Structure 1
Amino acid sequence: MLPVEEQLSILVHLSMADKFLAEEESKLIHKIGEGNGLSTEDVELIMDNPKPIPNLKDLPPDEKFDYLFNVIQLMKVDGKIYQSEIEFCERLAIALGYKPGVVGDLSAYIYSDPAIMTKRSYLRSIADKHLVPRK
């Protein structure tokens, strides 16, 4: 599993795809970081200096799905979806080993409000259909 710092860095890169960090995006990044044991200061440091995106293809399927879910939720959290954010999510999906269409298919079921949840097993079944077979 990638360290939480690298996971948050990916979310920071996505949130900045539109060149603006919305308050809702910042709150979600903080919530995820603090939920994983980081202090507010640690999260701020990552937000100010995100790490480069690592190689994600070798992650286990569960972790790939978690990344994909988190970036799609972050893309939607501020209520505005920019083409640059969609393109970032699609590039990340490809880096994870998915076909880019997974972003559109999952977006219909992932909501900006973390309290509204579609069953994860259903979302995972949608995502798994988009996994590119490993050679």
Structure 2
Amino acid sequence: MFGFFESEETKKLKSHIANLSALAKVDGHVDPTEMNFIISIGTKHGMKPNEVRHIISNTDTSELQLPTNDSERFDQIYDLVEMMLADGIVDESEMEFCIHMAARLGFKKAIVGVLVRKISLGVKDGLTRESIKLEAQSFLNY
């Protein structure tokens, strides 16, 4: 009922939580590590854990709100890749979902696979989000 009065930022955050939730569910279950990761993203942005859990349980009914600029797009795909890596197991369907979501977020189809793999390797290597973003800019042509 009050969704009409939500700010654009709140709508974007809820959409991002829904995207993370969909990725977590791709392999058939939400691992506790994945759940904690999604909740941490929400709480970092001011949401209460029970609000995040509500979004997760109602992912199918959420209306997706795509980011409006390249920086937000990168941050969302970065979080999705980080989510994919959260349980320590990279399922092929999770990788495909990340690649699909990168394309849906507006990245060129020709580079989405490279982008997801670059982020994945950067996270595994312990690089910061900003350094991965800077490296990605060279082939994203922001």
Cα distance, 1:88 vs structure 2: 0.4
Give 1:132 shift: 7.0
Matches for 1:1-135 after TM superposition, within 5 Å: 1=9, 2-50=11-59, 51-56=62-67, 59-98=68-107, 99-100=111-112, 101-111=114-124, 117-131=126-140
- Percent identity reads 24
Structure 2: 5+ residue runs without aligned partners? 1-8
Write the distance in 2 (CA, Å) between the matches of 1:70 and 1:12.
11
**Residue-pair matches, total:** 127
Pair 54,4 (structure 1): closer, same or farther in 2 beyond 3 Å: closer
| TM-score calculated relative to the size of structure 1 | 0.83
Verify the 8 A CA contact 2:12 2:65 in the aligned structure 1: no
Task: Indicate how the Cα distance of structure 1 residues 84 and 7 shifts in structure 2: closer, same or farther if over 3 A, else same.
Answer: same
**Aligned equivalents of 1:70, 1:19: Cα separation in 2:** 19
How far 1:7 moved relative to its partner?
A: 1.0
Contact persistence 1:106–1:126 (CA under 8 A): no
